[in-house]
Amino acid sequence: MALNREKIIVAAIQLAKKDGLESLSMRKLASKLKIEAMSLYYHFKNKDQILSALVDHAFKLIDWKPDKNNWKTSARDRCVSLRKVLNANPWAVSLLDSRRNPGLETLKHHDQMLGLFRQNGFSLKLTAHAYAILDSYVFGFAVQENSLPVSNSDDIAEMSESIFSDMPPDFIPHMMEMTMNYYMKPGYSFAAEFDFGLDLVLDGIEKEFNEERQYSKELI
């Protein structure tokens, strides 16, 4: 029954999920926990520490264990899982670019990802490359998915109507073409773009990896 850090974090996530991160205040959080706002300061130094704990908690939500036997499949699974978490918890995306001190879960997660590459024979250099590009892609995709006003083709029709209506004709011809003849076609979903890009990136990394191995064999 007693208040503790875990309970505070869980309540904070619920609030962030329901009303968005920007409406998460110490007072509202306290009220949800049926305590006074000042009590939170006994458990956390300040709001920023709560937000950092939230980010670290988000990493716990990633359903993934590295599989040493196939770096490509395993890295792929991890990216799919990460995106799923970022998509279900948009607040995490907004928080990620403001956190400075990674928590234990965050560090552990990154370590496992690095380990996956290293244990499969990636050089330090290529590990850094692979790591940076994969995370850039996944985070960036999540940012874009987040900022999309809408998701299905019906919604796109509705919102493009509102954009195009007060626009000089031919101001954005290619956007109009794409919208009319592609995005608005039934069945289109931006989410599906994710796999295409992910595989493209993974194939690129694999190619680099093979070249690296080839090169080291030639040295023998």
Using the rule CB under 7 A, which residue among 24, 53, 75, 85 binds DNA? 24
**Residue 26 found at the interface with DNA (CB under 7 A):** yes
Using the rule CB under 8 A, which residue among 98, 151, 210, 216 binds its own copies? 98
Residues touching its own copies, count (CB under 8 A): 62
Using the rule CB under 7 A, which residue among 10, 18, 20, 48 binds DNA? 48
**Residue 65 found at the interface with its own copies (CB under 8 A):** no
Q: Would you say 11 or 30 has its CB closer to DNA?
A: 30
**Residue 107 found at the interface with its own copies (CB under 8 A):** yes
* Residue 13 beta carbon to its own copies: minimum distance, rounded to whole angstroms: 18
**Residue 35 found at the interface with DNA (CB under 7 A):** yes
Using the rule CB under 7 A, which residue among 28, 76, 84, 118 binds DNA? 28
Q: Would you say 34 or 173 has its CB closer to its own copies?
A: 173
Gyration radius of the chain's alpha carbons: 22
Q: State the residues that interact with DNA by CB under 7 A.
A: 2-3, 23-28, 30, 35-39, 41-43, 46-48
